[in-house]
A = this chain, B = another copy of it.
Amino acid sequence: MSEQSESGENGDLRRKILDTTRHLLVREGYQNLSMRKIADAIGYSATSIYLHFDGKDALLHALIHEGMMQLHEELEEAAEYAEDPVQCLRALCRQFIDFGLANPEYYEIMFQLRPERMERYPPEKYRQARSNLDFFGRVLEEGEEQGMFGIEDAKVSASTIWASLHGTVSLLLADRVDVSIERERFIETAIRQSIQGCRRPTVSS
């Protein structure tokens, strides 16, 4: 009642909106998200959202930004403690997948929206987003220099590995992986194959 530090019930409506939107995203998906539903879920009028965000797009952009930042931090931390490029690549893959599975709401808006449907996501933010890919590019380059990989172009391979991880997360989130396959085993195999795919080939294919 007296003071309102920084995480009191007061004032952080903006925070509440972001969190609620995240939860709704995971429960109902982007398509079924509406300003009214968000408002109802937080117990405020729809108008109130506009006090904190310029509109639906701005709200989602803010969420995407948060997701990108969080992913960035997680990848950074994962890369930090790795001893060699291979271990580092493995850690990055694992972290990316974990992030996607743990934050499906972020994942959907960050990676699964067709850009044509999310109008005008500021290009400057896209650049920042893509910086997450650089983690993979750097470690591939490094490993290549040390003769651990057999890739042609670190940038290209970073993208294909990303594609592989993205597919893995997408299928898991969509529950499209055969139920008879154990989740952890699927993930581990996907990672192993991704890394193995960068190895110097034993025979030409």
**A interface residues (Cβ-Cβ under 8 A, vs B):** 28-29, 31-32, 86, 90, 111-117, 130, 133, 151-153, 155-157, 159-168, 170-171, 173-178, 180-181, 185-186, 189-190, 192-203, 205
Q: Chain B nearest CB: distance from A179 CB in Å?
A: 10
Q: Which residues of chain B are near A116, meaning CB under 8 Å?
A: 29, 175
CA distance A114 to B192 in the complex (A): 27
Whether A189 pairs with B205 at a CB distance below 8 angstroms is no
Whether A115 pairs with B189 at a CB distance below 8 angstroms is no
Partner of A164, one of B32, B152, B167, B185: B167
CA distance A127 to B162 in the complex (A): 28
Q: Chain B nearest CB: distance from A172 CB in Å?
A: 8
